[in-house]
Structure 1
């Protein structure tokens, strides 16, 4: 069954992440912890399915305040497929040089902030725009994607560098460049992509490490609680504290 093949492929990617990326994950977790401890933001950015790991972070049960999504609706909502905000418009926008510059102009950043970008291939212009603009503003750039498979690909950007070549820190999601992993007998294209699973895996490996570092430093974490546990009478109070902290940090953004 292809079900078992996909699971085997997914586990293989997760094992490779553990074998090769733990040092990189620790490095980026230290950088993020420094930013959050300073009361600043880890800004997150991705297009299409690379937005899904961002949705996993916050607000999310088990996530905590410190991660700010730089989400643009035309780059993240394309499930109409056709018509308004369809897939063709999305594909054009993510390759449109200059769009990312306009996105970055809409926010107020600080040199202590970090920008965390997700991209499987690292070649599309909007991601590269965001990375270049972040560096102009003195921010560190962290990129998660299939670096070993795509790290030397030619970018769709006039700067001549892809996202992995621009980044200060890279974590390799260890996915094949084609992404899909299961071959059918009568079709050219494979099914069963792995990049979302790999991105979410590396996200939580990283964020859990950030939490561990901050706790060791004595920093209070504002963790989003579950609202569904019978007998937990303070969940809404803890949620209110999270939202209040988020509001305080986001003032002036």
Structure 2
């Protein structure tokens, strides 16, 4: 039996180590992606974020309608892979070839658009179809996923797209979250499996760094970026109301 305090310290250190690697090794990729986001926001264009996968959807939600986040972010919250529709259903849908294509087409992502695809492991069929379809339709695609996890997954894994391709091989720009194989990082004697998943921390850190860097570029260029304020903070509703007339009809899930 391991004490809670020791487990907390070990889990904390695993998270810190992973985020430190992202900070040290992915700054250039995050800066490049931030430039793309800033360019689109400066032209008052939407930035689409899609996380096809049960818990990867959390990443898209993390930077959507978020305090301190860009108003221009439009998350694709398609019900197919959301856990709210059922966990097993979500997994089945993310493994269904062709589903990601339907989602991209339904959301009319196309020429001149910017799409950020985020997925912990970077291999599932819906994800790969989303990337392929967005590219075919002329969008610029940024991928956020773990290279080591994708490269370590067998070509015949049932989650894979029929092409057996990885997200990081398809996108215009890739941010590597370095999530270890299996996601969970804590070993507890007698548990049989590792516990304590880490991918949500990695995705949230990478995406929030990306959005903060984009806002920094906008302000550095003399722009006044549209930024959400928490509705629970003083003046939040009034501040956010200034954006609604411009975005309510453009952002599908607003």
TM-score, scaled relative to structure 2: 0.89
Q: How does 1:1-253 map to 2 (within 5 A)?
A: 1-46=6-51, 47-78=53-84, 85-151=85-151, 153=153, 154=155, 156-229=160-233, 232=234, 234-247=235-248, 249-250=250-251
Name structure 1 gaps, 5 residues minimum. 79-84
Q: d(CA) in 1 for partners of 2:149 and 2:103?
A: 28
1:250–1:88 CA distance, 2 compared to 1 (3 A): closer
Whether the aligned pair in 1 keeps the contact of 2:55 and 2:83 (CA below 8 Å) is no
Whether the aligned pair in 1 keeps the contact of 2:179 and 2:198 (CA below 8 Å) is yes
SS at match of 2:50: strand
Q: d(CA) in 1 for partners of 2:63 and 2:241?
A: 18
Q: d(CA) in 2 for partners of 1:110 and 1:250?
A: 15
1:36–1:130 CA distance, 2 compared to 1 (3 A): same
Whether the aligned pair in 2 keeps the contact of 1:147 and 1:170 (CA below 8 Å) is no
Number of residue pairs matched by the alignment: 242
Report how far residue 48 of structure 1 moved.
0.9
Question: In the TM superposition, what whole-angstrom CA distance separates every residue of 1:108-130 from its partner, at most 9, and x where no partner exists?
Answer: 23422111111121111001111
Report how far residue 102 of structure 1 moved.
1.3
Aligned-pair Cα RMSD in Å: 1.8
Q: d(CA) in 1 for partners of 2:113 and 2:39?
A: 9
Runs of 4 or more consecutive aligned structure 1 residues displaced over 6 Å after TM superposition: none
TM-score, scaled relative to structure 1: 0.89
Q: d(CA) in 2 for partners of 1:122 and 1:89?
A: 19
Report how far residue 228 of structure 1 moved.
3.7
Whether the aligned pair in 1 keeps the contact of 2:31 and 2:213 (CA below 8 Å) is yes
